[in-house]
Chains A and B, each alone.
Chain A
């Protein structure tokens, strides 16, 4: 689990972009592509190398006030994304 004040950033050479043909966000990297589901895409879109985990969670909670468990989901996603080496914590 990341610390609340850790700042996630995409790993070098990774790019996040919205793909209309696939109707989702994808993560692009050398010779690879990962489709992100809706919530993963929303979380990843907040990763800018400046905002902390805590700030990202509160931004998402403001945007999706009715969604339950935003904090848990976000922390869980960051843990997985870090294990998969999609992002780094600064």
Chain B
């Protein structure tokens, strides 16, 4: 292990901190087809996955740079048969490893094997507490029953049960039922995370944004639960940033602590960064150290020299770093602009228009584009 001094590099006069969190997106393959998936639309073009040895090398290099938290995600990480071996290596290296799964492809036996391999934590994502909406949204009938069984198996093997529910217009009115279901399963942590509009979710935005009333009701229900059960499950409620006045401090700053490695080996400062028109370095060609400290894409939005007005002279710029670069690019066409969620942004109207449309449509069905390879192929073909 190197000392702290050796792990910091001078870039543009400011000290770059080491990556502390590594997100290993093992594959874009997934048995589900969630229309709010944050994976890129061009998944069908990105099928050349890193080998096990590539991943072992990524784990070692990132740990040496300082990463301590590790997430295995995807796609569905359980699709990779070598997951257990990667977990063994991660444990040996001293990572705290988290598996983020839909639960499909998990079996009681696999939970036990992952536990033996040294996995620290499993998070199971649900689309809703109600199996009908759940199946509608995941495009799978059997998925829901399977998830319930796997959530129970996770707990039975001594893991804390962390349930993640992605909220949107079609299930946000069910927060009460979601919490009841979570209690029945004896969950320890429940994340009620509203969709963030990247990747497939942006494509389906009009069908997914909840109305303001829906959002307010869901928050009331969540807070009431917290008050009734001060010692109960820990609830996290993530508001969709469209309804906020300030953007989220995306990734705690670009290239500041988060490092994502995509299934094909692209290194990204954020799992959504593929939305940006940039050439991201690949771990097949460069060391992680060079990627993190030297590469152009990781340095371009570090610090605040890149900012335009109103961020550049804004007293709040250290709080939110101007928000999400991907959202700025996708909605305004320039990644250096303020995140349009910010009410100080001249482009805030784009968000308000989307909200107005969504609030207007809230009671009508809007068709959704399901996340799968066939739809991805079509999107790629149509440019």
A22 to B8 alpha-carbon distance, docked (Å) = 10
B121 adjacent to A30 (CB under 8 Å): yes
B121 adjacent to A19 (CB under 8 Å): no
A22 to B4 alpha-carbon distance, docked (Å) = 6
Write the chain A residue with the least CB distance to B20: A33
A29 to B221 alpha-carbon distance, docked (Å) = 27
Q: Known A30-B123, A33-B68; judge A20-B2 contact (CB<8 A).
A: yes
Q: Does A28 contact B (CB under 8 A)?
A: yes
Partner of B98, one of A17, A20, A23, A30: A30
A26 adjacent to B4 (CB under 8 Å): no
Task: State the total of A-B contacts with C-beta under 8 angstroms.
Answer: 55
Q: Known A12-B160, A20-B2, A20-B4; judge A31-B18 contact (CB<8 A).
A: no
Q: Which of A4-25 contact B (CB under 8 A)?
A: 12-13, 15, 17, 19-23
**Chain B residues whose CB sits within 8 angstroms of the CB of A15 once the complex forms:** 96, 120
A11 to B50 alpha-carbon distance, docked (Å) = 36
Write the chain B residue with the least CB distance to A11: B160
A21 adjacent to B71 (CB under 8 Å): no
A12 to B189 alpha-carbon distance, docked (Å) = 13
Can you list 16 A-B pairs with a CB-CB distance of less than 8 A?
A: A12-B160, A13-B159, A19-B66, A21-B1, A21-B65, A21-B66, A22-B18, A23-B3, A23-B4, A28-B69, A28-B96, A28-B120, A30-B123, A30-B162, A33-B20, A33-B96
Total count of chain A residues near the partner, CB < 8 A: 16
Q: Distance in Å from the Cβ of A25 to the closest Cβ of chain B?
A: 11
B66 adjacent to A22 (CB under 8 Å): yes
**Chain A residues whose CB sits within 8 angstroms of the CB of B1 once the complex forms:** 20-21
B96 adjacent to A29 (CB under 8 Å): yes
Q: Does B94 contact A (CB under 8 A)?
A: yes
**Chain A residues whose CB sits within 8 angstroms of the CB of B272 once the complex forms:** none
A3 to B4 alpha-carbon distance, docked (Å) = 38
